[in-house]
Chains A and B, each alone.
Chain A
């Protein structure tokens, strides 16, 4: 058996005899993944927004002949925000203290403008500074858009009633005044009782054409209001929890954490146990010691990563979720796990060699692993520097490899590029770790 395999077997035996350590190493990244998920879901949680009613919105508002129950309408259109009614002073105080992230003010004259249908009524939006402001602005814009849709429907209905009145005649009201209208059909009936003649024929023809045109107005008016209408189909596909992205990130996070901490701790432990001197007397080369730690990280990454992938696969099967290649791509995934484990393990070995003793190495690995992961999570388009730094670390490459391996129809291009990156990083960090180890045995 080769010397690397002998050391690997020893490390696996030591790991098996440390069940608490193994349990923590497995549970901790899963816990972190869960917390990251919670933080991510907080990103879509309802922000608290103040509603300042300076105009005294009535309980029921009639616009264009349509009656709106104001509270119910606001409730219906404000699903994305938690709208709380506050006085102007309280809203200003809470906005300053950050208790609300925005304030929407209904100014005086709003209701009369709305009822008048002549001038657009205005709402005033104030937001706090900081990261949430653009999102809140978007959500308030969505709220106003939804309100406009409801009002638009009411206006269209009101306009259509006037058109019906023009067509059929009857009693109408406008700005509170009642009036009788003969209507085109009534006009036609009156004209039919009059003697024929070229002038009367021209009037009859106009009435007939106007009748036909106004009969088409209903759909045309609705279409003008919504040139493009978005129809939402029933939900299908995977839930967020079972999405390809979440699987790739969960695998990447777990393997990165485990491989880094294990390799760093295991290499530094060789020095703690005072065996490096014994090993380096020609029994085992420094490169072989590093190789054993890289192999340890890769082995644990493959075993744990495949277990996670199997759990995901089973959940997908049980949930009868369509899409993806949960089973046939497992061998390719195993290759990615091994490469990721090796690459991260080499980085861990470097940290272990630099730290010199196991406790420091484990602490350093713990401190380093989260920035590595979060750098990989930051979108390159948002912070280009993060993307550049992340390219020099294994996490982002691992996530892209896993995503392609599990779900791309033709994964070979992406997988090839990311595999080359992971191999290159493994060689670089492994070489540096070997150099760093010289210091430990000096």
Chain B
């Protein structure tokens, strides 16, 4: 049986902000069908790595490659949508920018899948949980092969978390890859196939969840 294709590959990718190193050089591959958890305390470099992999920012060293024809969805930690537009209007606008053939249909599909309100309310007036789900829905536009999620469950209640992972899980079953960051190791459950741990901008662990469970996580998050 052949190995799943590499969807995203990072070679020595690093990011400096002036004298500060946000991310030391990191090598990483994300393959189809796998779910990778990215763990680490605040300021560890998780968001920086995800935005570099999503090509939302540029590395100061190394490079990021996407496989041929691979589409990558990105869900930043802070909601990224127009607060004066409704959830549907945001989805239709970004669907058109993503080149979706039927933007209205794509918006309807995601509104339903993420159980988002389809009314006249501006998205800025939605609850925190709904805004976060809209953020995830925007990341799913364009039917991505790989989805990068930056602490997607931070503002969701347990039920909403479960619904989110079900939605993401269905994508994985379709051969897609998921890389998500979290500060909550207990979220790993049976979601992740691999675990990466960042600390102080450097990759300090890469392995299976079972191996991670043997680590002293207090030392990592201290």
Residues of chain B within 8 A (CB-CB) of A275 are 80-82
Report yes or no: A273 in contact with B96, Cβ–Cβ below 8 A.
no
Any B CB within 8 A of the CB of A20: no
Partner of B74 from A1, A13, A17, A281 at Cβ < 8 Å: A281
- Considering the complex, which residues of chain A in the window 273-303 have a beta carbon less than 8 Å from any beta carbon of chain B? 273-275, 277-284
Report yes or no: B83 in contact with A277, Cβ–Cβ below 8 A.
no
Report yes or no: B94 in contact with A18, Cβ–Cβ below 8 A.
no
What is the chain B residue whose CB lies nearest that of A6? B96
Q: Which of B34-42, B54-62, B160-168 contacts A (4 or more CB under 8 A)?
A: B54-62
What is the chain B residue whose CB lies nearest that of A10? B93
Residues of chain B within 8 A (CB-CB) of A278 are 56, 74, 76, 80, 94, 138
What is the chain A residue whose CB lies nearest that of B80? A274
A274 to B83 alpha-carbon distance, docked (Å): 10
Any A CB within 8 A of the CB of B109: no
Report yes or no: B57 in contact with A10, Cβ–Cβ below 8 A.
no
What is the chain B residue whose CB lies nearest that of A16? B84
Interface size class of A (residues with CB under 8 A): 20 to 34
Residues of chain B within 8 A (CB-CB) of A18 are 84
Interface size class of B (residues with CB under 8 A): 20 to 34
Any A CB within 8 A of the CB of B208: no
Which residue among A17, A18, A281 has the maximum number of chain B CB atoms within 10 Å of its CB? A281
Report yes or no: B84 in contact with A14, Cβ–Cβ below 8 A.
yes
Known contacts A282-B55, A284-B97: does B84 contact A274 (CB below 8 Å)? no
What is the chain B residue whose CB lies nearest that of A15? B84
Contact with A along B56-94 (1 / 0, CB 8 A): 111000000000000010101011111111000100011
- Considering the complex, which residues of chain A in the window 400-442 have a beta carbon less than 8 Å from any beta carbon of chain B? 441-442
Known contacts A6-B93, A6-B96: does B82 contact A281 (CB below 8 Å)? no
A1 to B97 alpha-carbon distance, docked (Å): 9
Partner of A441 from B57, B81, B84 at Cβ < 8 Å: B57
What is the chain A residue whose CB lies nearest that of B89? A13
Any A CB within 8 A of the CB of B130: no
A127 to B73 alpha-carbon distance, docked (Å): 76
A232 to B220 alpha-carbon distance, docked (Å): 93
A279 to B96 alpha-carbon distance, docked (Å): 12
Report yes or no: B97 in contact with A279, Cβ–Cβ below 8 A.
yes
What is the chain B residue whose CB lies nearest that of A438? B58
Residues of chain A within 8 A (CB-CB) of B132 are none
Known contacts A279-B97, A282-B55: does B82 contact A14 (CB below 8 Å)? yes
Contact with A along B126-152 (1 / 0, CB 8 A): 000000000000100000000000000
A126 to B80 alpha-carbon distance, docked (Å): 69
A192 to B74 alpha-carbon distance, docked (Å): 126
Known contacts A3-B97, A277-B56, A441-B57: does B80 contact A10 (CB below 8 Å)? no
Report yes or no: A17 in contact with B80, Cβ–Cβ below 8 A.
no
Which residue among B74, B82, B85 has the maximum number of chain A CB atoms within 10 Å of its CB? B82
Report yes or no: A274 in contact with B54, Cβ–Cβ below 8 A.
no
- Considering the complex, which residues of chain B in the window 140-194 have a beta carbon less than 8 Å from any beta carbon of chain A? none
Report yes or no: A274 in contact with B79, Cβ–Cβ below 8 A.
yes
What is the chain A residue whose CB lies nearest that of B97? A283
A10 to B93 alpha-carbon distance, docked (Å): 8
A10 to B90 alpha-carbon distance, docked (Å): 9
Residues of chain A within 8 A (CB-CB) of B80 are 273-275, 277-278
Report yes or no: B122 in contact with A274, Cβ–Cβ below 8 A.
no
Any A CB within 8 A of the CB of B27: no
A6 to B83 alpha-carbon distance, docked (Å): 16
A273 to B79 alpha-carbon distance, docked (Å): 8
What is the chain A residue whose CB lies nearest that of B98? A283
26 contacts between A and B (CB under 8 A): A3-B97, A6-B93, A10-B82, A10-B85, A10-B93, A13-B85, A14-B82, A18-B84, A273-B83, A274-B78, A275-B82, A277-B51, A277-B57, A277-B74, A277-B76, A277-B80, A278-B56, A278-B74, A279-B97, A280-B56, A281-B54, A281-B74, A283-B97, A283-B98, A284-B97, A442-B58
13 A-B pairs besides A273-B81, A275-B82 with CB distance below 8 A are A1-B96, A3-B97, A14-B85, A17-B84, A17-B122, A273-B82, A277-B80, A278-B74, A278-B76, A279-B97, A281-B72, A281-B74, A442-B58
Q: Which residues of A contact B (CB under 8 A)?
A: 1, 3, 6, 10, 13-14, 17-18, 273-275, 277-284, 441-442
